[in-house]
Chains A and B, each alone.
Chain A
Amino acid sequence: MKIHEYQARQIFRDYGIPVPDSVLCYTVSEVEKAARDMNRMVVVKAQVLVGGRGKAGGVKLARTVEDAVAAGKQILGMDIKGFKVEKVLVADAVNISKEFYVGLINDRNTKSITLMASAEGGVEIEEVARETPEKIIKFSINPLTGLLDYQARNVALQLFGDIKLANKAASIFTKLYKLFVETDATLAEINPLVLTPENEVLAIDGKMNFDDNALYRQPKILAMREPDEDELQEIAAHEKGLSYIKLDGNIGCMVNGAGLAMATMDMIKLYGGSPANFLDIGGSSNPQKVIDAMNILLGDKNVKAVMINIFGGITRCDDVAKGLLKALEVLMTDIPIVVRLSGTNAAEGLAILKETGLPTVSSMSEAAKKAIELSKR
């Protein structure tokens, strides 16, 4: 789960990380009031859940209230990589001597939380990692001790040189670690972390992602969720025990298991078609899930054919067939459907489907070819 910058800033503040003042605004008049109240140079920043806002023109410096209003007019309502800007953050624009990067991630390879820091702040860290990986300090944290003061200080010293500044930064690192663990984050970035001419160390932009599997124990984080339209669909599917992601193609897929669902999409593409979605009905045998899944697939107006690909293990093919029968009774659709059933109780499942006259095939390659053919009719 992702959150906006303004939400990340609030979490930082809650944990005592110094962040410049800011006001969230939904309208130009709110921007004007915020800029007037702050009465100094501000930065107006689009709040969208996508990276590269600066390059897209979604972040503007404003020296006067008039500048801020102009920036607000420009940014509110603009489209950044398909995301409409509905709110902006008007933030105190601090003077910057130097920009740094600090971030925490769950590292798959070391199986630990890893602290990453760099004196090359303000730019995309992936770029730094690709071009000059030696400029990123990586420190793998022992989960049994957490990030210790001296460890944070040693990393900070490498960035700042000066011990007084390093102490300020180190305190930010340990606070960031604490909030990372306590919120079940998967990513917490301060980019940039800035040094001001007054020798203050401040977080002026933040990015946080959270572990979907841990949201059950993070009610405060869950309350921050602001899903877009596609995500609302995905969340609704998730509540029904389905894993659904909408794509741009015209062949709807219903599959059991994530790996097989991905392979099914790949197969459709391999034979010249285009998948409309990823949909994993999971491991259980509940016919209701099949009905819910068909509902979602047929609700996508782009779908011209449906491919059902089931390899029964825990999922029983006869249960899928029963669900499909019910779904067809209720939904009454003209969209052609091709069914592939293999594994547990496949013969029973195919017998149930016989009366429907739906085309059934025995392999997934055949199913993909058939679905593509049907989608072109």
Chain B
Amino acid sequence: MSILVNKDTKLVVQGITGRDGKFHTGLMNKYGTNIVAGVSPGKEGETVEGVPVFNSVENAVKATGANTSIIFVPAAYAADAILEASEAGIALVIAISEGVPVQDMIRVTPILKQNGTLLIGPNCPGLITPGQSLVGILPAMIFKEGNIGFISRSGTLTYEVVNLLTLNDFGQTTCVGIGGDPVAGLYFIDLLERFENDPETIAVVLIGEIGGDAEEQAAQFIAEKMTKPVVAFIAGQTAPPGKRMGHAGAIISSGSGTAAEKIAAFNRAGVPVAKEPAEIPELLRKKLAELK
């Protein structure tokens, strides 16, 4: 088992003829992801990495039965691409595009809700169910099949931690990079709930960062609803207030959104927070030993 993507995922790549779209279509294909279609208006009939290209998501869905989409189009067109996928009946949309205006995402949100479309991102590395499906730009070689669920707001920090997990023999059910933007699709709670309900996942690693209060909400959810152990790490403990740390969402404003507040919230919820990434496997081992 796993969450969100698996062997049955039929992927359409929006922006497949662009530089990044093409490159990652190749890598995802190589991993074994079932990529059924690409979209690039004006290029219907062509193929990229052996994948047929369509003028619209609607055409792609009609011809191939695609149920999941990954978006590589430039930020200015990302909202349009997300809505196109949603209206075409795609159930899960992963938006990789970085730098999407916040108000574009605000306008998109109610329409996705109305159509019942799930969104991950924007500005995210995507997700992977090791051994089954890679939908994103994550480097495949560091992942390993197993039973740890993984959720992170960051990209390369995800790789850092997943690599440590794999080296310590903690394989993963599914790893999800939710992205660093202030207004995004699925967030910690949505994914914690799915991992809680996934029979194969035995524990979850959560990587948060400064800004907003999603970690605090996650802590509350864990305390009230979760039976499976969770281990966390928070990036940005030394970040100064008022400065945006790369991610649009990673900013401490008016004294809220600090790492200290988030760590305190997790500790109250019984979630150990690692001082550094290298400590995570050990904390996980301890938590799992407590279960026995």
Say whether, besides A143-B109, A213-B101, A266 and B276 are in contact (CB < 8 Å): yes
- Asked if A233 is at the interface of the complex by the 8 Å CB criterion, the answer is no
Write the residues of chain A forming the contact surface with B, with a CB cutoff of 8 angstroms: 106, 108-109, 111-113, 126, 142-144, 181, 184, 186, 211-214, 216-217, 243, 245, 247, 255-263, 265-270, 275, 278, 280, 283, 311-315, 342-344, 363-365
A161 CA to B209 CA in the complex, in Å? 43
Do B76 and A260 touch (CB < 8 A)?
A: no
Say whether, besides A143-B107, A258-B154, A213 and B248 are in contact (CB < 8 Å): yes
* A111 closest partner in B (C-beta): B109
Interfacial chain A residues near B180, Cβ < 8 Å = 258-259
20 residue pairs from A and B, CB less than 8 Å apart: A108-B212, A111-B109, A111-B183, A112-B106, A126-B255, A186-B102, A213-B99, A245-B245, A247-B240, A257-B246, A258-B154, A258-B180, A258-B245, A259-B246, A260-B235, A262-B157, A262-B236, A283-B137, A311-B163, A313-B155
A211 CA to B100 CA in the complex, in Å? 10
**New A-B contacts (6) at CB < 8 Å, excluding given A258-B247, A262-B235:** A108-B183, A143-B110, A212-B248, A266-B237, A283-B137, A364-B276
A260 CA to B180 CA in the complex, in Å? 12
Say whether, besides A258-B180, A262-B236, A313-B156, A106 and B103 are in contact (CB < 8 Å): yes
A364 CA to B156 CA in the complex, in Å? 12
Say whether, besides A213-B99, A243-B246, A278-B246, A260 and B157 are in contact (CB < 8 Å): yes
Do B247 and A211 touch (CB < 8 A)?
A: no
B10-21 near A? 1/0 per residue, CB < 8 Å? 000000000000
Do B245 and A260 touch (CB < 8 A)?
A: no
Say whether, besides A270-B276, A342-B163, A257 and B245 are in contact (CB < 8 Å): no
A344 CA to B163 CA in the complex, in Å? 12
Say whether, besides A343-B163, A364-B277, A259 and B105 are in contact (CB < 8 Å): no
Do B139 and A263 touch (CB < 8 A)?
A: no
Q: How far is the CB of B97 from chain A (nearest CB, A)?
A: 10
Q: How far is the CB of B203 from chain A (nearest CB, A)?
A: 21
Do A343 and B109 touch (CB < 8 A)?
A: no
- Asked if B43 is at the interface of the complex by the 8 Å CB criterion, the answer is no
B208-242 near A? 1/0 per residue, CB < 8 Å? 01101110010000000000000001011111100
A213 CA to B179 CA in the complex, in Å? 15
Interfacial chain B residues near A247, Cβ < 8 Å = 240
A73 CA to B249 CA in the complex, in Å? 40
Interfacial chain B residues near A364, Cβ < 8 Å = 160, 276-278
Interface residue from A111, A143, A261, A342 paired with B245 (Cβ < 8 Å): A261
Interface residue from B158, B240, B243, B244 paired with A212 (Cβ < 8 Å): B244
- Asked if B125 is at the interface of the complex by the 8 Å CB criterion, the answer is yes
Interfacial chain A residues near B152, Cβ < 8 Å = 259
Say whether, besides A142-B110, A214-B101, A278 and B276 are in contact (CB < 8 Å): no
Interface residue from B102, B159, B250, B254 paired with A211 (Cβ < 8 Å): B102
Taking CB atoms and an 8 Å cut-off, the chain B residues in 179-195 that contact chain A are: 180, 182-183
- Asked if B93 is at the interface of the complex by the 8 Å CB criterion, the answer is no
Q: How far is the CB of A59 from chain B (nearest CB, A)?
A: 20
Interfacial chain A residues near B158, Cβ < 8 Å = 259
- Asked if B142 is at the interface of the complex by the 8 Å CB criterion, the answer is yes
A108 CA to B111 CA in the complex, in Å? 17
Do A266 and B153 touch (CB < 8 A)?
A: no
Interfacial chain A residues near B163, Cβ < 8 Å = 311, 342-343
- Asked if B175 is at the interface of the complex by the 8 Å CB criterion, the answer is no
Say whether, besides A245-B245, A313-B139, A263 and B106 are in contact (CB < 8 Å): no
Write the residues of chain B forming the contact surface with A, with a CB cutoff of 8 angstroms: 75-76, 99-107, 109-111, 125, 137-139, 142, 152-160, 163, 180, 182-183, 207, 209-210, 212-214, 217, 233, 235-240, 243-250, 254-256, 259, 275-278
Interfacial chain B residues near A257, Cβ < 8 Å = 154-157, 246
A347 CA to B278 CA in the complex, in Å? 21
A184 CA to B75 CA in the complex, in Å? 15
Do B278 and A217 touch (CB < 8 A)?
A: no
Say whether, besides A214-B103, A259-B247, A109 and B213 are in contact (CB < 8 Å): yes
A247 CA to B240 CA in the complex, in Å? 8
Interfacial chain B residues near A314, Cβ < 8 Å = 137, 139
* A246 closest partner in B (C-beta): B243
Do A106 and B237 touch (CB < 8 A)?
A: no
A343 CA to B156 CA in the complex, in Å? 10
Interface residue from B105, B255, B256 paired with A111 (Cβ < 8 Å): B105
A126 CA to B247 CA in the complex, in Å? 23
* B243 closest partner in A (C-beta): A245
Interface residue from B75, B207, B238, B246 paired with A269 (Cβ < 8 Å): B238
Interface hub of A106, A256, A314, A364 (most chain B Cβ within 10 A): A314
* B125 closest partner in A (C-beta): A313
Say whether, besides A311-B156, A313-B155, A365-B276, A258 and B246 are in contact (CB < 8 Å): yes
Interfacial chain B residues near A268, Cβ < 8 Å = 238
A365 CA to B160 CA in the complex, in Å? 12
Do A216 and B76 touch (CB < 8 A)?
A: yes
Interfacial chain B residues near A112, Cβ < 8 Å = 106, 109
A258 CA to B208 CA in the complex, in Å? 12
Interface residue from A143, A266, A278, A311 paired with B106 (Cβ < 8 Å): A143
Say whether, besides A269-B238, A365-B276, A106 and B183 are in contact (CB < 8 Å): yes
A349 CA to B76 CA in the complex, in Å? 35
